[in-house]
Amino acid sequence: MSGRPTPQRVLEAEPLPEGLRGSALLTGSPYVQYQYGYPHKTAYRALTPARRVDEVWAAEDKRHLSLYVHVPFCEMRCGFCNLFTQAAPVESAQVRFVEALERHARVVRAALGTASFSRVAFGGGTPTLLPPPLFARTLDVVERTFGAALARTPTSVETSPTTSTDEHLAELEARGTSRLSLGVQTFLEAEAMALARPQLRADVEAALDRIRARRFATLNVDLIYGIEGQTPESFVQSLEAAQRWAPEELYLYPLYVRPKTFLGKRAGAWDDFRLELYHVGRDWLRSHGYTQRSMRLFRRAAANVPEEPPYSCQDDGMVGLGVGARSYTRALHYAWEWAVSPGAVRGLIDTYAATTEDELGWARHGIALDLDEQRRRDVILSVLADGVDEQVYLGKYGRDVLSDFPLLREALDVGLLRRDGAVLRLTDLGRERSDALGVHLQSAAVTTRMRSYEVR
């Protein structure tokens, strides 16, 4: 492939020091860290003192909450994966986890009091790895304990090719689930092997056939770019293969290789040509009827995606259930502890499974957000989504956003942002550099906490 940079190790870079911010908006790799929220989970620490969950939520607006259920099991751990998940668990471990999840749900629902849910997501891990009876019990946690009927609440479920069985899909269809997200990553078996993900194309295609034979409003397919040996031509082959099933959404993820993962432990180097592949994928999807919604999300323009109830990730809280899930309020983000190494993951899952209802009613690990961090989170999430509305910011905080965050003015000057009335939105250049831009907007305190975090 012509025009590739000098081969280098594709590792997740550290956040830039405070003194370099602003001067490096257009230099260096766009792939600094996977930016999907703020503060990052590596900024979490033990909360001293621990906080009762009912007290944490007492003053929150609970009219439009998001509910996330984390199932920490997969059939295998892919070579790039640093998610909180255990590979090939025995069924007894899954039973103990679901029993603990039910206890956790009862405690949290009682702590919330009056609350409504605008959306639900089941992730992990791979929720559909659970045997059908346990999977049905997990869905019951949402419908019976939280009163959020899946047929009336936009619900997304993560699945994989080999676990998208007829039994699982029938259960989801019967409950009116609106969205399935299939982790494909690549349709080419050689590229799947390079990710340490032994996957047969025939299994992927059979899963897509089974999903499309049922009534799900939205099918999402995840693909990865930057795989060792991948070329623009092979990336397009995966895009073309996915198009056979006309997914309503496609997520294109750059490969990040992180500490403690299989790929992170490998010696050697490969070309970092992710940006080139991003351009190929972006342009191909745009030319085939997809609208780009973010750096990663592409939605088919003709798709009849259902309207969703109001929810703002900047303002509305998220309730997390299960070891590995995070919960967000305005002033506190909290979670169970996180790990990557198999032994550490198993230990945390075993601890969770043995935790009593009373103990599950406490937040013990997380990060408190003062007003400055709340404003910063609002801006970062807004930049990554639909843009920063200067008037909305002024109304919320009584301050000028460009004065609070002069980096946004520089981003305007260098072409990462554009003005759309009172809204500052990412340009094409800004979208491709949005992971790095989010890092530049982090506070020095959060950056310091992230750097000192030791991944287990």
User: What does the alpha-carbon distance between residue 256 and residue 254 come to, in Å, rounded to a whole number?
Assistant: 6
* DSSP code, position 5: P
For residue 102, is pLDDT > 50? yes
Which structure tokens are listed for 432?
A: 């491709």
Comparing CA positions, the residue from 231, 157, 201, 185 lying closest to residue 80 is 185
User: What does the alpha-carbon distance between residue 255 and residue 340 come to, in Å, rounded to a whole number?
Assistant: 17
pTM over 0.85: yes
Comparing CA positions, the residue from 253, 290, 292 lying closest to residue 431 is 292
Q: What is the CATH number of domain 371-456?
A: 1.10.10.920
Integer distance in angstroms from the first to the last C-alpha of the chain?
Answer: 37
Same fold, 45-300 and 371-456: no
Neighbour-count burial of 449, counting CB atoms closer than 10 A to its CB (0-12 exposed, 13-18 middle, 19+ buried)? middle
Element (H, E) at 185: strand 179-185
Axis crossing angle, helix 132-140 with helix 91-112, rounded to the nearest 10: 10
For 271-286, what is each residue's pLDDT tens digit?
A: 579 999 999 999 999 9
User: What does the alpha-carbon distance between residue 8 and residue 80 come to, in Å, rounded to a whole number?
Assistant: 17
For residue 82, is pLDDT > 50? yes
- Tell how strand 249-254 and strand 290-292 pair up: unpaired
For 8-23, what is each residue's pLDDT tens digit?
A: 333 333 343 444 344 5
- Per-residue model confidence (pLDDT) at position 376: 96
User: What does the alpha-carbon distance between residue 117 and residue 115 come to, in Å, rounded to a whole number?
Assistant: 7
User: What does the alpha-carbon distance between residue 17 and residue 448 come to, in Å, rounded to a whole number?
Assistant: 9
* pLDDT, the chain, mean: 90
What's the pLDDT band for 270 if we cut at 50, 70, 90? low
Q: CA quadruple 189, 192, 193, 198: dihedral positive or negative?
A: negative
What residue segments make up the domains of the chain, in order of their start? 45-300, 371-456
User: What does the alpha-carbon distance between residue 375 and residue 395 come to, in Å, rounded to a whole number?
Assistant: 12
Comparing CA positions, the residue from 66, 134, 63 lying closest to residue 101 is 134
**Averaged pLDDT, 355-360:** 94
- Per-residue model confidence (pLDDT) at position 178: 95
**Superfamily name with CATH number, domain 45-300:** Aldolase class I (3.20.20.70)
What's the pLDDT band for 29 if we cut at 50, 70, 90? confident
For residue 32, is pLDDT > 60? yes
